[in-house]
Amino acid sequence: MTASDISARLARRLAWHQALHDPDFDPRARSHWLAELRRWQAARLRVSFAHFLEDPARAPAANFFLGDVYGDRDFTRRDADIARVLPTMRRLLPAPLLATVADAIELGALSQALDLHMVDALQRLAPRRRRLDDALYAEAYRAVGRAGLRRRQVRLIGRVGRGFGKALKMRGVSALLAFSRGPARLAGLTELQGFLERGYAAFEALGDPDAFVAEIERDEGEVSRRLLAGHPAPYALDD
């Protein structure tokens, strides 16, 4: 895909992402279940990523995924930055790095869409409950289903990681990010700049980015498969 094609894809994904996070567009975004779901999922991921976090070489990349890619952080400011500078990004960023930003936005939008379906399920299954536990989460996950979209979600996680891994091999990316730091701060684009810098730095510390990403894809794909199948211990992947 050309930079122009990727930019158009990014613009579409950004509009989708912003709509799904707008409570005036989708009132489910106001539900108490959404905040509880994000809290629960972020806590579960930290447990699943514990072996990464204990490894000094892989901890930065794991924290990047938990905080910037697949966590419970509010990405509104970052996405507003992207919307403001989309034409400039198309001119300055290498196409593979621009594609990685588009994948990250799509991942956030798809995750939000699936979470909103989870909100529907939780409101049906436990209208008086306020907190999640393993059993209720698994029941809602099966009620939502959408196995194909869950697989797409896991693939996007891998694509974002591999995108930053590829950026390490491209000439001039490190210098470009360093050069743009001051202008980004002056223009109020610190969230977008931080996202790119943190991703680049996190994957630079990895000895083998592809192996790291493949392990996440394999494990998260297996967790999803087990949840959909009603496995009694979906997160115990050593079993």
CA-based nearest residue to 156, from 211, 221, 200, 202: 221
**All residues at 6 or more sequence positions from 168 whose CB lies less than 8 Å from its CB, including other chains:** 200, 203, 204, 209
Average pLDDT of the chain is 84
Instruction: Return d(Cα 178, Cα 193) in angstroms, integer.
Output: 10
**All residues at 6 or more sequence positions from 122 whose CB lies less than 8 Å from its CB, including other chains:** 33, 37, 129, 132, 136, 140
Instruction: Return d(Cα 220, Cα 109) in angstroms, integer.
Output: 18
Other CB atoms closer than 10 Å to residue 187's CB: what's the count? 15
Instruction: Return d(Cα 93, Cα 91) in angstroms, integer.
Output: 6
Q: What is the pLDDT of residue 176?
A: 65
Instruction: Return d(Cα 143, Cα 228) in angstroms, integer.
Output: 9
Instruction: Return d(Cα 193, Cα 182) in angstroms, integer.
Output: 10
201 has pLDDT over 90: no
pLDDT tens per residue, range 98-143: 888 888 888 888 998 999 999 999 999 999 999 999 999 999 999 9
pLDDT tens per residue, range 171-199: 666 666 666 666 556 555 667 777 788 88
